[in-house]
Structure 1
C-alpha cells in the first residue's frame, strides 16, 4: 500500500503537537522521516495510523483517506505510551502481549516458538534489558505477523542508542517482502545511515 501524508498537522491542548508534514511511502522500500526528538514523532505515528484527529492535511492509503482503513492496515511499532511494551515486564510477557495485539496465537508455546526463532531461549529477562536492535527487530516482526498489516510505522528506534544499521537492515528485509515501512528517526541517525531510501522532514512544534 502507498501511504501519503499531505501537509498533515496535529493540534494539542496548549499548542500544535505536529507542524505540517508531508511524505510519500511506497511498498518495497524504507522511508525515513527525520526530526528532533519529542511529541512530534508520536503525533505523526498516530496520524499515519488513523488514531488521532488531524488539524489540517490528509493521510491516504492507496488514495483512500478512510481512517478505519488505516487502523486496519497500518501497524504502529514501539510508539511511546501507545504501543511500546512496559520495560519492567519480562521479554516473554511483552512478546506474548504484542502477539495477542497482532491477533496471533499468544500461548506459552507460541510465544516460546517466536522467541526461539529470534534466538532467545526463555525470555525471562526484563524487556528493557534487550539490545536496542533486538528490541526493534522483535517488535517489527510481531507487527508484520498480523495478517492485515500492509504498512509498518516504526517510532524512533534510535532513542535506545546502539548502531542503527542492524534494525535498518531488518526494516529493509520487511520492505523487500512487500511491506511499506516508515521509520521515524533523528537527523543524526538519518545522516549516520546515509540511506538510499527517501527521507522526509518531520514538522516539530
Structure 2
C-alpha cells in the first residue's frame, strides 16, 4: 500500500526530512509511532505535549481556566469537564484550539532544533489534514485499517460510545480521503509483525533515497 518514494529536494542534506504521521481515531497511529521510535526515529507526539501543557503545573492552565472556569485544578485540566465544555460547541472548541495550538507549535519547533542533526524526524499529529498542518512536513504517512476494525478498537475504550465515535468521525477527514492525500500508507489491519515490516520498509526506502 506504500507509494513509491518521492524525489527528495536537496535541502534534506542540511536538515531532517520531516514526516507527518496521521490517521483517524482507532487506526493504530500510536502503535506505528512506537515502532518508529524503536527504529531510532525521533517522534514529536502532539497529543502527549498537550497532556504536559495541561497537566499539573502545565503552562496553559491559567489560560484554560480563564476561558473555561472550573475546568482545572491541582492535577491540571479536568479532561471530563473541559471535554463537556467544548463537545458539540464549535465556538468553544475554537477558543480552546487558539490557546493550545500556538503552544504546541512552539514545542514542536524546539523538538526540531534538538534533532536537527538527524536524517528523519516525525510529527505525530492526529488532525494533520483537518487543521492545515501539511505545510509543516515534507511527506505524509497515513495509518489505516478497515472501518469495522476502527469501530471495534474505539468502542473498546472506556467511556466511548457509538454516538461519540460518530461525532469524532464527523470532525475528522474520512479515511479514504486521507489515504488519497498520503505519500505513504501504513496498513494496521493485519498482524503487528506485518505493520512493523511496513514501517521498516518505509524507513529503508527513505534512508536509501536520502543517502544519494
Whichever of the two has the greater Rg, that structure is 2
TM-score (norm 1): 0.39
Q: Which structure carries more helix by proportion?
A: 2
Say which structure, 1 or 2, has more relative contact order (CA 8 Å, 6+ apart): 2
TM-score (norm 2): 0.38
Q: Which structure carries more strand by proportion?
A: 1
